[in-house]
Structure 1
Amino acid sequence: MFKKDENIILGISIGDMNGIGPEVILKTFEDQRMMELCTPVVFGNAKLLSFIKKVINCTTTIHGIDSLDQIQKGKFNVFNLWREGVNLDFGTLDDTIGKYAIRSFTAATQALKNNEIDALVTAPINKYNIQSDDFKFPGHTDYLNKELNGDALMFMVSEDIKVGLVTDHLPIQEVSQNITPDLIKKKVRTINQSLIQDFNVIKPRIALLGLNPHSGDNGIIGNEEQTFINNTVKELFDENIIVYGPYSADAFFGSEQYRDFDAVVACYHDQGLIPFKTLTFGTGVNYTAGLDRIRTSPDHGTAYDIAGKGIADFTSFKNAVYTALDIYKNKNEYLQSTVNPLKVSTI
C-alpha cells in the first residue's frame, strides 16, 4: 500500500507545447540529482522534446518509452503518447497544439487513476485552445474533480502563504449567488484536512476573507457577512476547526496578517490569487486539494511571449515537483499513522 519515497513515479503532462511548459520541464530535470528524488515520466513524444531541447540549448538526457511498464528509475522518461510529427510555432495560440495538450493531460490522469504513476505535475495549458466536444472544462481542476474521488479545491501554496478559494473560475457577477454556508463549510473543511494530512500541520489556523469590501462595513456595503458568513465561521469553530473572520481583504494582506495563519480562504478567484501571486510569483504552486490523488502545477501560464527563447524561469515548476513529492510523503505518513491496528488474535 505504501511506497518508498525514492521510488515515486512522477507523471508530467506536457502542457501547451507552443508555450514554456516543455522548457520548464526539461530545465527542471537537467540536474541529474532530481532523478534521485523521483522517477519522472512525461506524457508526450521523445522526438518532439528532443527538438525543443536543442532549441533552448538544454542538456537533459531523454529516455523514450513506448509503454508505462518500460519506465526506468534514474532516467528522464518520455512516454511516446503519439508518433506523428507535430508542427510547433512558439508563442502562437494553436487549436491543434491544444488538442495534444489535453491528450497528454487526460492520459496522465488515467495513469494516475490506474496507479501507474504516483503523482501528477501539469505544465501550463491555454484555457481557450483546449476546448472541444470531448473536453469542455475551464481547466485542469474541473476535469480532475470529475475523474477522481473527492471534492477538488484550488489551493495555492508556498512556504510563506497558502490560499484556498471558495469559488474559482466564475464570472464576478455569479460569485455572490454561488457562495452559500454549505459551500464555505465544505471548502474550509477541505483546507483544514489538507493542512493536516498533506502539509503536516497538527492544528491548523485558518482565516476567512469577507465577500464584500471592508467585510460589508456592518451591512453598509453588502450584507452577506451579517446574513450568513459570520454565523458560518462560528459553526465551523464549533466543529473544532480553528477558523477566524471574515476579514477585510484589502487590509489583511497589507498588514501581513496572513503570517498569523496556516491558510487563508478567499471568496473568489482574484481576491485570493492577486495577493498570492504578488507575494510569491514565480515560486508558488497550485495544488489540487481534496482529491484521492496528488496533482500540482506551477503558478504561471503558457508565457507565449518568451516561449522558445530559452529564458523561462523554471523555479515554480521545480517547486511543483518538490511539493508533489512532499505531499506524497506526508499523505503516506498520515495514512500509516491513522490506519486501524491489526486485531490481536487469541488462542
Structure 2
Amino acid sequence: MAVKPVLASSLIALEEIGLYEERARERLRVGSGCAAVDDALSGGVVYGQDGIYNISGATGDQAAETISLHLLISHLLASSTHTATLIDATGNLDVLKLYRNLITRLSTRNNDHEANVKQATLTLDRVKIMRVFDFEGVVEGLNELVDELEEKDLPRGTVMDSQEDAEEILDLSVQAKTEKKQQTTRQKAEAGMILINNLSQVLGLLLKNNYVQGQASITTLVRRLRNMAQQHNLCVVLLSWSVTYNSDQERASIFEAIKARPGLGKSLGYLVDTQILVDAVPRRARSQGNNSDMVNVIEVVHSRGSHQAGKFGIFDVTGDGELKAVV
C-alpha cells in the first residue's frame, strides 16, 4: 500500500525557520576589507561548517596571495582570541609585508602610531608559521596543530608501568574530556584560521607521477581539514595555482577573456565548500590585448556553502599590497 505523502512545509515550524535565519545572520564572518572582494564572498569567509576555501591564481601573480593575506589580517583583528597557522610550502612568505599591512589597517582605526606598532607586534604573536617542503610536511604540520588544539599532554609512545597507572591515566583522560565539554561555550567564542600556501607546490609532482594517488591525497587532506574546522571552529584557506585550458575544454569562468581553471583538478573544487578563481581581464573593452591595462577579478566558480557561484568582484592590488575596488 502506498504511503500518503505529506508536505515538507508541515514538518518544520515557522519558529525553527526564524531561528535558523537568525543564527545565519549572527554567524561570524570576516572579509578582506575590500568591498569588491567581500561582495563576491557574500561578506567574507565563515568558520566551521562551510569554512573550507580554495583560491586559485595564476603562477607568479600576487593577487590571490594578497587576498588571503588580507583575510588573515581581518581574522586576527576581529578578536584578540583569534589565532592563525600558516603552512608555507613556497618559502616566499613575507612577514614584513604582513606587518606593514597590519599597520596600515590599524591606522584606519587609530592615529596613534606607537599604539598601532604595539598592537601589530602582539597580533603577530598569535600567528604560527610552519615551513614545509612536501605533502608529508603538510600532514605533519596538521598533526602538530591537532595535538595543540586538543591539548594533548600525554607524550606519544608512553609505556605504563602497571594496570594501576593505566587506570589513573584513564581517569585523567575522562576528567580532561569532561572539562573540555564544560568549556564548550568559551571555545566557541574563539576562532582560528589555517592558511596553506601553496597546495600546487606540494601536490603538483605527486599528481604528475600518479594522478590517482594525488587525487586520493587531496581527498584525504580536505576531509581531515573539514573535520578540524567543524570541531575547532576554524576557517581553512587553501592557495593553489590555476592553469590555462584548451578551447575544447569546459569553461570555468563566466568571463570570455579568462582562459584559466583551478590547476589541481575538478575534484578539489567539489571537495571544498567554496572554489575561488582569481585572474585578470582588460580594464576596458578597447584595451583587449593590452597587458598593461588589466584589472583583477575574483570569481566564485563553485559553492555548496554560503556563497553563490557566479558572483565576482573587480579589484586592483596597489604597490603597497593593498586591495582596491574598481568601480
Q: Is TM (by shorter chain) over 0.5?
A: no
Larger Rg: 2
TM-score under structure 2 normalisation? 0.28
TM-score under structure 1 normalisation? 0.27
**Which protein has greater RCO, CA pairs closer than 8 Å, 6+ apart?**
2
